[in-house]
Amino acid sequence: MIKMSQNLNNNVCNENSFNVIFNKYATDLHDFLYYKFGDHLNPKDKVQEAFIKLWQNCKKVSPNKAKSYLFTIGNNLMLNEVAHQKVVLRHKQQGTKSYTNESPEFVMQEQEYLEKLQNAIANLTEAQRVAFLLNRVEGKKFKEIAALLNISTKAVEKRIYGALKSLRTQIEEL
Amino acid sequence: MEREYLIQKWLDHSLNAEELEAFKKLEDYDALQLLNRNLQKFKAPEFDKKQSLDFITKNLKPKKHNNWNIKWIRIAAILVISIGSFWYFNKNNNTTINTLASQKTNIDLPDTSNVILNSASNLSYNEKTWYTNRKVNLDGEAFFKVAKGSSFDVKTEKGIVTVLGTQFNVKQRNDYFEVVCYQGLVGVTYMQQPQLQLKPGESFLVIDGKTIKKEIQNKLQPAWITNKSSFKSIPYKHVLSEFERQYNVRFITKGVDLKQLFTGNFTHDNFEIALKSITLPLHLTYSKKNNTITLKRE
């Protein structure tokens, strides 16, 4: 009986649990959307929209379903807007230092390497790109990514390892 | 095998100290480090949690209200629908016809009765109950040609006109109530007074609460049907009002006696001539600006 009544109240309709969920998933959702779709569709807006939708449907969503709900909504919001375009993630510009000990050749090489890397990332599959960048850039472990994407650790491992291989061959080739 | 295992562990951020040493000795360690270093430049832009949460919270508040409001909106909607349908089915199924200033219209009622509605007037009747209850509501002026049949009532703010099949004109404007009978017999009930009978040519006129006797005229229809307004000893005020309705203008008067009686007519087809015909006889000058006409004594 106690369990049941808990379950009944178990939705995200109160502000406290909503905030907890926001703090737990907002950044991950943002990063996921960014790595998957790039920034030209404004992932930040989609995160906010997804959370607003979650609130509006708060009675139907239990806290343990909130994560997949948010990721699905965020994903759909993006898909609604884009007929698949190739996603090119832009790298940040080299820090403009007023002085540098690095030789001009070195700077050139670095720049060249970055260009290659950018192309190579763009050529990854969407699934590879998301998993790989969450792993490398956001420092997430396989298990964490698996939980976020609702797939098995093994699958994550495969995607990331595949992405690494693909990047390396592309960079060396060019 | 060993190499692949180490790379896997490195990827998963789970190398232990010993494995890390071994990893560093791999021949592609440098390449991996270079790759990893450069990958950092593709990091997603910083996500400002606080700002986003503020934005979301701001957008949530009205929703909460809505939840509460929806109940009331539902209740209100049910009330509106039920009252509306009650009203619709029980009382009224009125057909309403409006004319604007400087517009006339011809209306055929459900029997062969015919109404010509003068400018700025409003006529309504119930189509459903027409054959048991021939009744129209009138605000303004209209000329009726009533088909023979049961009694026919014209209800105005000031009085009720009852007939049996005839032709007559009813004019009800502010402080002005006039019924003219052209054919048949017309009964007028004015302000609860006993009914008065009008024979062809007779008329009943009340201006500013005063009943005014009018001599018998033998016309077949009111002048306005032929696009003319005709007056016989009518206070000037009512002439101007009629003019305003026919030409959709406003009068401003300066030093003009609005109570003096006016006899004459003006046409509905020519503004200049019409204006002259109501001003010249009284030695008034006029100036026009947009829709406003200023009248002055000469």
Using alpha carbons, select from B97, B230, B95, B247 the residue that is nearest to residue B169: B230
CA-based nearest distance A64→chain B, Å: 20
pLDDT score of A160: 94
Using alpha carbons, select from B46, B40, B48 the residue that is nearest to residue A135: B40
Q: Cα A46 vs. chain centroid, distance in angstroms?
A: 12
Over range B62-85, report the average pLDDT.
77
Asked whether the whole model's pTM tops 0.90, one would answer no
Q: Say yes or no: ipTM exceeds 0.85.
A: no
Residue B41, pLDDT > 50, answer yes
pLDDT score of B126: 84
Q: Across the interface, do A91 and B11 touch by the CB < 8 Å criterion?
A: no
How does pLDDT run across B136-193, given as a tens digit for each residue?
A: 899 999 998 888 777 888 988 888 888 877 888 888 888 888 888 888 888 888 887 7
Check: CB of residue A144 under 8 Å from CB of residue A130. no
CA distance A29 to B56: 15
Q: Cα B26 vs. chain centroid, distance in angstroms?
A: 86
Residue B57, pLDDT > 70, answer yes
Q: Which residue of A has its CA nearest to B67?
A: A56
Q: Where is pLDDT greater, at B55 or B91? A: B55
Using alpha carbons, select from A120, A122, A153 the residue that is nearest to residue A135: A153
Cβ contacts of A85 within 8 Å, gap of 6 or more:
none
How does pLDDT run across B243-296, given as a tens digit for each residue?
A: 998 888 999 888 888 888 899 889 988 888 998 888 888 888 888 888 889 888
pLDDT score of B113: 85
Long-range contacts, A52-59 (Cβ 8 Å, 24+): A52/B56, A52/B59, A52/B60, A52/B63, A54/A12, A54/A18, A54/A21, A55/A12, A55/A13, A55/A18, A55/B56, A55/B60, A55/B63, A56/B63, A58/A11, A58/A12, A58/A13, A58/A18, A59/A11, A59/A13
Over range B220-238, report the average pLDDT.
87
CA-based nearest distance A21→chain B, Å: 11
**Helix H segments across B91-225?**
none
pLDDT score of B297: 82
Distances (CA, A) of B273 to B75, B165, B268, B294: 60, 37, 9, 16
Over range B73-98, report the average pLDDT.
81
CA angle B29, B32, B37 (to 5 degrees): 125
Percent helix, strand, coil in chain B (nearest 5)? 35, 35, 30
Q: Say which of B11, B14, B41 has its CB closest to residue A164.
A: B11
Point out which residues pair with B170 in neighbouring strands.
Answer: B142, B179
Three-state DSSP at B213 gives coil
Interface-testing mutation among A21, A22, A39, A42, with chain B (most B C-beta atoms within 10 A): A22
The pLDDT mean for chain B works out to 85
Interface-testing mutation among A116, A142, A170, with chain B (most B C-beta atoms within 10 A): A142
CA-based nearest distance A27→chain B, Å: 6
Q: Dihedral of CA A57/A61/A66/A70: which sign? A: negative
Q: What is the DSSP string of chain A?
A: -HHHHHHHH-SS-SHHHHHHHHHHHHHHHHHHHHHHH-STT-HHHHHHHHHHHHHHTGGG--HHHHHHHHHHHHHHHHHHH-S-----PPPPPPP--SS--S-HHHHHHHHHHHHHHHHHHHHS-HHHHHHHHHHHTS---HHHHHHHHTS-HHHHHHHHHHHHHHHHHHHHH-
pLDDT class of B84 with cuts at 50, 70, 90: confident
CA distance A134 to A121: 13
Check: CB of residue B229 under 8 Å from CB of residue B223. yes
The tokens of A164 are what? 């690494």
Q: State the CB neighbour count (10 A cutoff) for residue B267.
A: 15
Q: What is the DSSP string of A82-118?
A: -S-----PPPPPPP--SS--S-HHHHHHHHHHHHHHH
Q: Which residues of B touch A160 (CB under 8 A)?
A: 11
Three-state DSSP at B57 gives helix
Q: Which residues of A touch B59 (CB under 8 A)?
A: 48, 52
Q: How confident is the prediction along chain A (174 residues), in pLDDT tens digits per residue?
A: 344 444 445 677 888 888 889 999 999 999 999 999 888 888 998 999 999 989 888 888 888 889 999 999 999 988 887 765 666 677 765 554 545 666 778 778 888 888 889 989 989 998 999 999 999 999 999 999 999 999 999 999 999 999 999 999 988 865
